[in-house]
Amino acid sequence: MRISDLLQQIRSSPDYRGQIVYTREVAAREARYADPAEPLREPAARMLSCRGIERLYSHQAQALDAFRAGDDIVIATGTASGKSLCYIIPILEALAADPTATALLLFPTKALTQDQFKGFSEGLRMAGMEDVLCGVHDGDTPAETRRKLRDEGRVIFTNPDMLHASVMPQHGRWADFLANLKILVIDELHVYSGIFGSNMANLMQRFFRVCEHYGSSPRVIACSATIANPGELGAGLTGRPMRIIDDDGSPRGKRTYVLWNPPRQRGTIYRSRRSANVEAHELMARLIRLGMPTITFSKAKMTAEMIYRYVCEKLQQEAPELTGRVTPYRGGYLPQERREIERRLFAGELLGVSTTRALELGIDVGGLDACILVGYPGTLASFFQQSGRAGRGERESLIILVGLDTAINQYVMTNPEYLFGRPIERAVIDEHNPYVITGHLRCAVHELPLPEEDSHIFGRHAPLALDILQENQKVRRIGGTWYHASTETPQHEISLRDYADYNVVIEDIATGAILGEVNKFDAPPILHPHAIYMHQGDTYIVRELDLQRNIARVERIEVDYYTQPLGGTDVHHVDHRLREKPFGAGRAYWGEVTAYFRNWGFERVHFYSLDAIDIQGLDLPTMQLETMALWMVPPEPLMHMVRTAGLDAHSGLRGVGYATRMLLPTFMTCDTLDFSHSIGSANSEWNAIFIYERYPLGLGFTEKAYDLLHGILPAVYENVRSCECAEGCPCCVGKPLRGYSTWNVERGEASVPSKKSALMILEGYLDDMSNLSNPDVGSMTDSEDAMRGRLERSMRRRLERMREPSHFHPIDPLPRTEYPSREAEEQLAQPDVATRKERRGNLEKDLRRRLAKRLPTDRLDAFAPRAKGPEPLRTSRSLPPIAFSGRPEVQSEQASADSDAMPPPRREPIEQGDTLAARARRLKKQRKQDQ
Amino acid sequence: MSRPRSQQAARAATPAEPDLTPLTGPAVRLESAVNGVEVAGPLGTGYLIKTPISSLSGFEHVSDAFASELARPDAPVARMLSATAGGQVPVENIIFMDLETTGLDATPLFLIGTMVWEDGDFVVHQYLARDYSEERAVIALFHEQARQKHLMVSFNGRSFDLPYVRTRAAATGAPLDVRLPHCDLLIEARRAWSNRLPNCRLQTIETHILGRQRHDDLPGRFIPEAYHEFVRTGDARRIIQILEHNVPDLITMAEILLRLPGR
């Protein structure tokens, strides 16, 4: 059926209620072919003819010509335009030309690595080069295979994290592979933006240095999705000029974009529109019944599972034979499960897949005709990446964006030009950030001695960073060359992403099977006791979450509700208030803060009807993040004025925070997602607007923002004032969602910050804009020297702070305004890990001692659980007690309950000097006697 | 939470690792405390300390015993070494070796101890990198010495020492093309004694087979930091401890060879 007919049919169906608010057709594009200047050589030509490809698309030929001419290239063409061929052909040619040549391919995710590896090994087979050893080298690879790949592999697929933490520290073992390295492929280049990108750029510098040591100089082939600046990003990441290939020659069928807004509902206060999930599953079931392969993207793992469940139930009623051809897919599944789903998708066995961003990157999922996006994915690049999953080749395709009932979605629904009329986002990196290079310099020096004159490849702050590292006894200068001088392996302490460093494993109580893994920051919201965990559409209830052993035990249970975590992140308190200045009518500060991630409860919600059953309290440990923050404090009389004007002051402050955060990337090279904002803290003014960094210990972005505040805040004011919206929108004061917060989005509960209030606060705070460029309190001017001194102190402090254990420290009612004194020389020789452990121990001892003085003896143990958990906020149905291990009294209660029911099995004691054989004999004898 | 029984037992069996004994007296310069020379190799200079073992109390007879035993064609040691090397090996062609490193993970090494036959006696050669920049010179010096020999003897060298030097040679750009027949005593000791000893660590074999106990040894986990401290401060007291502990390690290998029952 043609897509226009389908839309017509939908529009004329009796239960259609005007959901289609906008359609846009993008005309089909003819394929353009070209031949490379020199014809293809043998193995590649055979591979192409095997695949049935007669001629290359123009951009593929262009890429091949450029590569053969000796350029490093970045290919930035649309989804499914055959970018993989642009590196497969050069690799095949290089392998055939030189029997020792090797190639390394980097992909940002494991799933993608597997997928591309499959494609490549197929290509090798077709080219008749099965004898070339190629493989995936990642965290899932068994040690034996890793060794074999390292010693004999010629084409290795891996990810940057593995390169950083596993290959680089022991590059000597990779000497042969690296010495023969001819080609380095960086796929999904656009992913490397923000902090991840800055880390990646430094990793690349280190990698090229090691390659040079082994006498090789690999050429780079990078592939990128559509972004505004692929060439600039490629050059920043690799430190080399890159030739851009972006003239897409692949054909494209007609594409129809539909914006689908769920109909309004009456009768409830907060739920004004029907659930997007309900709309999406109906659409998906309909498309599947028409035989159109469909992919649905949701923003959360939970939603993906839920939509799958809904679709299955719907198909069960209408076309039961199709239910087996739908599947969910998301991060957190086990590798084998994912591989199987990818295989079935590619083979065309599946008609529908409900997924999260996990499938957004270039995994080849074969020909899909339709794509449903549940909610705007946040950036244009992501939107086009996801919608590009539909419409392989010249087939007509349909993309439906279902609007959530949140401000940004509703804004997009009413202003479709936001999607189609704007330039796509830029990817930015700041590869010379002094804090980023400090970590990478440690690694670089560990890998190879660094001659002083070479340090400039890490930017102008490198000499300063090296001096500070020497002070900290991490590196040492001997005869004009820097050497590693500590017992640590720095690569293992420095993470390329701001991700958590370990995962929580999910285990099925009944079978002992491992269902999946989630990272530690995601575990409490998803896997708290009594949470409903969904896996392959089945519901499981979480019985226990053990954060000490990183395991969650779940039990299969059939329920008609799901759970929504409640909580979020904010700045809890200020540790050090290091800089302060009068700003406008108020003040501005910069310093060290501690932010908390906390889930205080959860809500149970019925499937379909979305009626809330109840809200329950949770007693989970709080995660904490020590970082840097900038905070702005408008004057108190102004806040009073805002309130007397009948406006919500808090909401306005939040709006200012959001608006500032959104504009930061225009003033420095960072990403809006590198920050969070929150209002007030335990030991600051209630109306302090905090902008804090989401990277452990911070990377100095907020200090730069503090320095540039006189430019930033007027721009923020101008931006909010000139925005055309009436009540606030994602372009100015914000969406109601924050990164880690978990408002009940599904039900649309959360308000857009008040624009009027934000404007009034900004106006009053900036005053007449005459008082913005003040020097810090306590310093006369802001000279270069002063800046340098500050940077030096703060870099030194950051290294010291890394040695402090992240623990729940006492809070000063008045934050200190100076850095603590520097560590003693002899302390520094101790490795960081040992120091952290010792300090943690000291703190706990000290805390016990202090509490012992104050408390009666039965409460001596400061870490014993409280006698009673927090009261549930509002409960209509009672649940059994929450089993959270790490709370001994609950465990022992359970144990005693168990022991009543069933006597414990008798254990034969092991006697001293008893050998196993003797014990076995005795037991056997006893059993015989018992019988 | 109770620990599984096997773990408890294992904990009880191994005594807690000894702690660092505090240093006494004033700082000591390396050159004034040990009898070594600076030697120039193809890749710069390193520091060489030679110790003939007959001069050491307690080890006076090892050289003679080894030489006479090896000369006897039906002695277990002669049979085993010639089986490994594929032919008779005169004592002049054997090299014993043992490394001291700054970690287990391909981090720099700073001491290569070897033991070779010179003028009727075993002589321990210790090639020491006095700072990180001398590592490549030390590897090159070792390479020079090893390539003149025909058989290498080590303790766990097959899976640790030799691959480690290879990795470091690659990383520092030093040459290392040593492809000698290799007699790994850990493998031999496991074959001979694994059912009699709690484990086959060098110290255990020393205690139970050779009947010797060591005192004042620097526990292994402190060695890396001791070396970094030496480079930083120039105070050689700890490094001397390491050097002193490296010598009996090498001699013990020769003694183990004599005690092995043969195949």
CATH code (residue A540) = 2.40.10
**Closest partner CB to A213 (pick from B173, B224, B229):** B173
The verdict on residue B5 lying in a domain is no
pLDDT for A266 equals 63
Kindly state whether residues A263 and A386 are assigned to the same domain: yes
Q: Lowest mean pLDDT: which of A1-5, A361-365, A634-638?
A: A361-365
Amino acid identity, position A598: R
Q: Which stretches of A421-497 are DSSP H helices?
A: 434-447, 462-471
Phi, psi of A180 (to 5 degrees): -105, 10
Residue A19 CA to residue A22 CA, distance in Å, equals 9
The verdict on residue B108 lying in a domain is yes
Two structure tokens written together for A265: 């509902």
Count: domains in chain B: 1
pLDDT for B17 equals 58
pLDDT at B170 over 80: yes
- Chain A residues with a Cβ under 8 Å from any Cβ in chain B: 169-173, 175, 213-214, 446-449, 473, 476, 478-479, 481, 483-487, 489, 829, 831, 910
Q: What is the CATH number of the domain that holds A265?
A: 3.40.50.300
Mean pLDDT throughout A567-593? 90
Contact between A485 and B132 using a beta-carbon 8 Å cutoff: yes
Q: What is the CATH number of the domain that holds B180?
A: 3.30.420.10
Residue A554 CA to residue A859 CA, distance in Å, equals 33
Kindly state whether residues A705 and A674 are assigned to the same domain: yes
Q: Lowest mean pLDDT: which of A83-92, A506-515, A581-590, A888-897?
A: A888-897
pLDDT for A305 equals 87
pLDDT at A157 over 90: yes
Kindly state whether residues A555 and A567 are assigned to the same domain: no
Q: Which residues pair with A597 in a beta bridge?
A: A569, A623
Kindly state whether residues A215 and A165 are assigned to the same domain: yes
Mean pLDDT throughout B167-186? 89
pLDDT for A870 equals 46
The verdict on residue B110 lying in a domain is yes
Domain termination residue (choose one: A245, A266, A289): A245
Contact between B167 and A485 using a beta-carbon 8 Å cutoff: no
**Closest partner CB to B225 (pick from A172, A489, A829):** A829
Shortest distance, CA B224 to any CA of chain A (angstroms): 6
Shortest distance, CA A31 to any CA of chain B (angstroms): 49
Which residues 6+ apart lie within 8 Å of A770 measured at CB?
none
- Model-level ipTM above the cut of 0.90: no
The angle formed by the CA atoms of residues A167, A172 and A176, to the nearest 5 degrees, is 90
CA neighbor of A325 nearest in space, from A341, A306, A301, A339: A341
CB A237, CB A204: distance < 8 Å: yes
Q: Which residues pair with A567 in a beta bridge?
A: A599
- Between A453 and A809, the more confident residue is A453
For residue A733, how many other CB atoms are within 10 A of its CB? 32
The angle formed by the CA atoms of residues A16, A5 and A303, to the nearest 5 degrees, is 55
pLDDT at A777 over 90: no
pLDDT at A323 over 90: no
Strongest mean pLDDT among A188-197, A830-839, B226-235: B226-235
The verdict on residue A604 lying in a domain is yes
- Strand, helix or coil for residue A823: coil
Kindly state whether residues A412 and A456 are assigned to the same domain: no
Kindly state whether residues A462 and A502 are assigned to the same domain: no
Kindly state whether residues A786 and A657 are assigned to the same domain: yes
Which residues 6+ apart lie within 8 Å of B166 measured at CB?
A172, B176
Two structure tokens written together for A863: 């870490």
CB B232, CB A474: distance < 8 Å: no
Supply the mean pLDDT for chain A. Answer: 82
pLDDT for B13 equals 43
Contact between A910 and B5 using a beta-carbon 8 Å cutoff: yes
Residue A850 CA to residue A152 CA, distance in Å, equals 60
The verdict on residue A53 lying in a domain is yes
pLDDT at B9 over 80: no
The verdict on residue A513 lying in a domain is yes
Q: How far from the centroid of its chain's Cα atoms is residue A532's Cα?
A: 23
Q: What is the CATH number of the domain that holds A444?
A: 1.10.10
Q: Contacts by A608-614 with C-beta closer than 8 Å and gap 24+?
A: A608/A278, A608/A310, A610/A271, A610/A275, A610/A746, A610/A747, A612/A747, A613/A561, A613/A876, A613/A877, A614/A872, A614/A874, A614/A875, A614/A876, A614/A877
pLDDT at A837 over 90: no
The verdict on residue B206 lying in a domain is yes
pLDDT at A204 over 90: yes
- Strand, helix or coil for residue A426: coil
Q: Lowest mean pLDDT: which of A49-63, A425-439, A465-479, B211-225?
A: B211-225
Mean pLDDT throughout B9-32? 67
Domain that holds residue A323: 14-26+252-420
Kindly state whether residues A317 and A465 are assigned to the same domain: no
In the Cβ-directed half-sphere of A820, how many Cα atoms lie within 13 Å? 12
Kindly state whether residues A56 and A127 are assigned to the same domain: yes
The verdict on residue B103 lying in a domain is yes
Contact between A172 and B102 using a beta-carbon 8 Å cutoff: no
First-last CA distance in chain A: 74
The verdict on residue A745 lying in a domain is yes
Query: Looking at A31-72, which runs of residues are DSSP E strands?
Result: 33-34, 56-57
pLDDT at A745 over 50: no
pLDDT for A180 equals 95
pLDDT at B142 over 90: yes
Domain that holds residue B101: 30-259
pLDDT at A73 over 70: yes
Q: How far from the centroid of its chain's Cα atoms is residue A323's Cα?
A: 32
pLDDT for A738 equals 37
**Closest partner CB to A478 (pick from B102, B131, B228):** B131
CB A366, CB A225: distance < 8 Å: no
CA neighbor of A83 nearest in space, from A109, A110, A112, A59: A59
pLDDT for A898 equals 44
pLDDT for A846 equals 82
Q: How far are the Cα atoms of A463, A488, A638, B232 from residue A477, in angstroms, in the given order?
A: 11, 17, 55, 10
Domain termination residue (choose one: A230, A245, A260): A245
Residue A706 CA to residue A931 CA, distance in Å, equals 82
pLDDT for A553 equals 92
pLDDT at A414 over 70: yes
pLDDT for A510 equals 87
Render A66-133 in DSSP notation, one character per residue: HHHTT--EEE---TTS-HHHHHHHHHHHHHHH-TT-EEEEE-SSHHHHHHHHHHHHHHHHHTT-TTS-
Nearest-Cα residue of chain A relative to residue B231: A485
Residue A475 CA to residue A480 CA, distance in Å, equals 13
**What would the pLDDT profile of A388-410 be if each residue is shown by its tens digit?**
888 767 788 899 999 876 666 77
Contact between B232 and A448 using a beta-carbon 8 Å cutoff: no
Two structure tokens written together for A748: 């649309």
Kindly state whether residues A197 and A294 are assigned to the same domain: no
User: Please, which pLDDT band fits residue A585 given cuts at 50, 70 and 90?
Assistant: very high
- Between A91 and A845, the more confident residue is A91
Which residues 6+ apart lie within 8 Å of B24 measured at CB?
none
CA neighbor of A887 nearest in space, from A872, A869, A871, A860: A869
Mutate to test the interface with A, among B133, B134, B136, B162 (most CBs of A within 10 A): B133
Two structure tokens written together for A506: 């999910």
Q: CA B201, B206, B207, B208 torsion: positive or negative?
A: positive
pLDDT for A482 equals 96
Q: How far from the centroid of its chain's Cα atoms is residue A25's Cα?
A: 33
Shortest distance, CA B169 to any CA of chain A (angstroms): 8
Query: Looking at A686-817, which runs of residues are DSSP E strands?
Result: 689-693
Q: Which residues of B touch A446 (CB under 8 A)?
A: 107
The verdict on residue B3 lying in a domain is no
Which residue bears the tokens 């520094």?
A: A828
CB A77, CB A83: distance < 8 Å: yes
pLDDT at A63 over 90: yes
Kindly state whether residues A228 and A195 are assigned to the same domain: yes
Residue A520 CA to residue A739 CA, distance in Å, equals 16
Q: How far from the centroid of its chain's Cα atoms is residue B101's Cα?
A: 11
Mutate to test the interface with B, among A178, A448, A487, A919 (most CBs of B within 10 A): A487
Supply the mean pLDDT for chain B. Answer: 85
Two structure tokens written together for A495: 């993470």
Mean pLDDT throughout A709-734? 80
Contact between B228 and A485 using a beta-carbon 8 Å cutoff: yes
CA neighbor of A880 nearest in space, from A515, A505, A544: A544
Q: pTM higher than 0.90, yes or no?
A: no
pLDDT at A746 over 70: no
The angle formed by the CA atoms of residues A494, A228 and A409, to the nearest 5 degrees, is 90
pLDDT for B7 equals 42
Contact between B133 and A479 using a beta-carbon 8 Å cutoff: yes
**Closest partner CB to B167 (pick from A170, A476, A831):** A170
Q: Which residues of A touch B102 (CB under 8 A)?
A: 487
Q: Lowest mean pLDDT: which of A208-212, A213-217, A745-749, B68-72?
A: A745-749
Shortest distance, CA B91 to any CA of chain A (angstroms): 33
Residue A170 CA to residue A176 CA, distance in Å, equals 12
Percent over 90 (pLDDT), chain A: 30
pLDDT for A154 equals 94
User: Please, which pLDDT band fits residue A854 given cuts at 50, 70 and 90?
Assistant: low
User: Please, which pLDDT band fits residue A616 given cuts at 50, 70 and 90?
Assistant: confident
Query: Looking at chain B, which runs of residues are DSSP E strands?
Result: 36-41, 44-52, 94-101, 109-118, 121-128, 151-154, 182-184
Count: domains in chain A: 5
Domain termination residue (choose one: A216, A245, A274): A245
Q: How would you label B183-206 residue by residue, b for 16+ Cβ within 10 Å and e otherwise?
A: bbbbbbbeebbeeebeebebeebb
Kindly state whether residues A202 and A344 are assigned to the same domain: no
- Between A410 and B161, the more confident residue is B161
- Between B148 and A600, the more confident residue is B148
**What would the pLDDT profile of A348-385 be if each residue is shown by its tens digit?**
888 899 988 767 665 666 668 899 999 887 778 788 88
Shortest distance, CA A41 to any CA of chain B (angstroms): 35
Residue A343 CA to residue A79 CA, distance in Å, equals 20
Q: Which stretches of A596-728 are DSSP H helices?
A: 636-644, 649-663, 701-707, 709-722
Contact between A829 and B171 using a beta-carbon 8 Å cutoff: no
Contact between A485 and B105 using a beta-carbon 8 Å cutoff: no
Residue A309 CA to residue A747 CA, distance in Å, equals 18
The verdict on residue B1 lying in a domain is no
The verdict on residue A898 lying in a domain is no
- Between A705 and A570, the more confident residue is A705
Mean pLDDT throughout A313-321? 90
Amino acid identity, position A127: A
First-last CA distance in chain B: 48
Residue A17 CA to residue B130 CA, distance in Å, equals 82
CA neighbor of A376 nearest in space, from A753, A737, A743, A749: A737
Mutate to test the interface with B, among A147, A150, A151, A173 (most CBs of B within 10 A): A173
- Strand, helix or coil for residue A705: helix
CA neighbor of A64 nearest in space, from A81, A44, A80: A44
